[in-house]
A = this chain, B = another copy of it.
Amino acid sequence: MGDFNQSVILEAVRHAVDGLSRIELAQVTGLSAQTVTNITRRLLDEGLIREAGRTISGPGKPRVMLRLVEESRFAVGVHLDPAVTTFVLLDLAGEVVRRSSMATPAEAPSLILADLAAQIEELVEGSGVPRERIAGVGVAAPGPLDATRGTVIDPPKLPGWHRVALQDDLAAAIGLPVVLEKDTTAAAVGELWTRRGPSDDSFVFLYLGTGLGAAVVRDGEAVRGSTRNLGEIGHIVVDPEGPRCACGSRGCVDVVCTPEAIVERAEQLGVLAGGRRPGDRAALDASLTELCVRAVAGEASAGAVVQRAAEHLATLTLVLTDLLDVDRVVFGGPFWRRLADLSLPEVAARLARSSATRAVRALPVQSTVVGDDVGAVGAACVVLDSMLTPRTSDLLLGR
Binding site for B on A (CB under 8 A): 29-30, 143-144, 146, 153-154, 202, 214, 218-219, 223-238, 240-242, 247, 249-251, 315, 318-320, 322-327, 354, 356-357, 359-361, 392-393, 395-396, 399
CA distance A235 to B323 in the complex (A): 10
Docked-complex contact B240 and A251, CB < 8 angstroms: yes
Docked-complex contact A232 and B322, CB < 8 angstroms: yes
A230 in complex: contacting residue of B240, B242, B325, CB < 8 Å: B325
* Most central of A214, A247, A319, A361 by chain B CB within 10 Å: A319
Residues of B contacting A237 in the complex (Cβ-Cβ under 8 angstroms): 236-238, 240, 251
**Contact of A359 with B324 at beta-carbon distance under 8 Å, contacts A236-B319, A392-B392, A399-B30 already known:** no
Residues of B contacting A318 in the complex (Cβ-Cβ under 8 angstroms): 235
CA distance A313 to B229 in the complex (A): 22
Docked-complex contact A218 and B227, CB < 8 angstroms: no
List 28 interface pairs A-B (beta carbons < 8 Å), by A numbering: A144-B357, A144-B360, A146-B359, A146-B360, A153-B359, A154-B359, A214-B323, A218-B223, A224-B325, A226-B326, A226-B327, A227-B360, A229-B356, A229-B360, A230-B323, A231-B325, A232-B322, A232-B325, A232-B356, A232-B357, A234-B356, A236-B236, A237-B240, A240-B249, A247-B354, A249-B315, A320-B323, A392-B396
Residues of B contacting A322 in the complex (Cβ-Cβ under 8 angstroms): 232-235
A202 in complex: contacting residue of B226, B232, B249, B354, CB < 8 Å: B226
> What is the distance, in angstroms, from A267's C-beta to the closest C-beta of chain B?
23
A225 in complex: contacting residue of B242, B251, B324, CB < 8 Å: B324
CA distance A232 to B351 in the complex (A): 14
Residues of B contacting A226 in the complex (Cβ-Cβ under 8 angstroms): 202, 325-327, 361
> What is the distance, in angstroms, from A254's C-beta to the closest C-beta of chain B?
12
**Contact of A229 with B357 at beta-carbon distance under 8 Å, contacts A235-B319, A318-B235, A323-B214 already known:** yes
Residues of B contacting A359 in the complex (Cβ-Cβ under 8 angstroms): 144, 146, 153-154
Docked-complex contact B323 and A227, CB < 8 angstroms: no
**Contact of A326 with B395 at beta-carbon distance under 8 Å, contacts A240-B250, A240-B251, A251-B240 already known:** no
CA distance A361 to B214 in the complex (A): 21
Docked-complex contact B225 and A326, CB < 8 angstroms: yes
Q: A230-B324, A237-B237 are in contact. List 17 more A-B contacts (CB 8 A).
A: A143-B356, A146-B359, A146-B360, A202-B225, A218-B223, A219-B393, A226-B325, A227-B357, A227-B361, A229-B325, A231-B325, A235-B322, A236-B237, A236-B319, A240-B241, A323-B323, A392-B392
